[in-house]
Amino acid sequence: GQNIDQPTEMTATEGAIVQINCTYQTSGFNGLFWYQQHAGEAPTFLSYNVLDGLEEKGRFSSFLSRSKGYSYLLLKELQMKDSASYLCAALDSNYQLIWGAGTKLIIKP
Amino acid sequence: AGITQSPRHKVTETGTPVTLRCHQTENHRYMYWYRQDPGMGLRLIHYSVGEGTTAKGEVPDGYNVSRLKKQNFLLGLESAAPSQTSVYFCAISETNTEAFFGQGTRLTVV
């Protein structure tokens, strides 16, 4: 079957760095997405990786290893507004998104 | 992206029909309906790859959809059940990759 695993909850300190991991098992693979979702709001797109390696976008970076079925989202210089859920999703061979349950990130002052 | 869902909140009784609406102003080809439940990932209900076409997703039972015009994607519950209490998100995309989400509809079936 198809499956996405990510931690349920993480806590970090304002100004610090946090890495959110995601492992996936899908029928075929056409890319890995990260979305941010604040409580009560819609998910918003953060990043898309289809090739191995690190993609950097400001304070946020995303890494992909296709051979390991693994990705992570790295958030630097954490701010209180980064408190949100982070959703990992893999695009399978039918171009359907398979979603993880999300990682709730709590930022403490 | 210009996506509007209506209503934003709805409380309905078991057994009543319900229609959720999604309207886009982006002219994107793909439209999707997801449900989001606590502790679970987004689950695809139905989707459309163009005007007049629809297809089943992961959890289609108890739902129907229609896309008579490219801008509008309707989600219907013929007979609402308590198990369909959820937050429903409409999403659009042009390339079947990056998706843009509407603000969601919180449906409660009592």
pLDDT band at A97, cuts 50/70/90?
confident
Q: Do B101 and A89 lie within an 8 Å CB cutoff?
A: no
Measured between CB atoms, does A51 come within 8 Å of chain B?
Answer: no
Burial-class residue B16 by CB neighbours within 10 Å (0-12, 13-18, 19+): exposed
| 3-state SS class at B83 | helix
Tens of pLDDT, residues A41-62: 999 999 999 999 999 999 999 9
Q: Which residue of A has its CA nearest to B56?
A: A96
- A83 CA: distance to closest CA in chain B (Å): 17
CA angle B30, B54, A34 (to 5 degrees): 40
What is chain A's mean pLDDT, rounded?
95
Measured between CB atoms, does B1 come within 8 Å of chain A?
Answer: no
Q: What is the per-residue pLDDT for B96? A: 64
Taking alpha carbons only, the member of A1, A68, A3, A12 closest to residue A49 is: A68
Residues of chain A with pLDDT > 70: what percent?
100
More confident residue, B93 or B89: B89
Those of residues 34-93 in B touching chain A at CB distance below 8 A are 39-44, 57-58, 89
